């Protein structure tokens, strides 16, 4: 007689995992965005236009 395995994961399980790791889920994208912004601002701007 085969043993049944429960391979399902509920939405509540996913929400619990997200709630436990909310700080990591918030700070990592924020840090990556801040680093990307700083690097892009530090690069020289090659193309600049002005109109009169």
* pTM, full prediction: 0.60
pLDDT for 7-27, tens place per residue? 788 999 999 999 999 999 999
Q: How does residue 40 score in pLDDT terms, banded at 50, 70 and 90?
A: very high
Confidence (pLDDT) at 48 = 77
38/23 Cα distance (integer angstroms): 22
Mean pLDDT of the chain, nearest integer = 89
17/11 Cα distance (integer angstroms): 10
Q: Contact, 26 vs 33, CB < 8 A?
A: no
Confidence (pLDDT) at 30 = 98
50 has pLDDT over 60:
yes
Residue 43: DSSP 8-state: S
């Amino acid at each position: 007689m085969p043993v049944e395995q429960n391979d399902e994961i509920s939405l509540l399980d996913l929400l619990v995992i997200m709630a436990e790791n909310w700080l990591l889920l918030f700070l990592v994208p924020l840090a990556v965005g801040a680093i990307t912004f700083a690097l892009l601002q530090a690069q020289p701007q090659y193309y600049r236009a002005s109109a009169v």
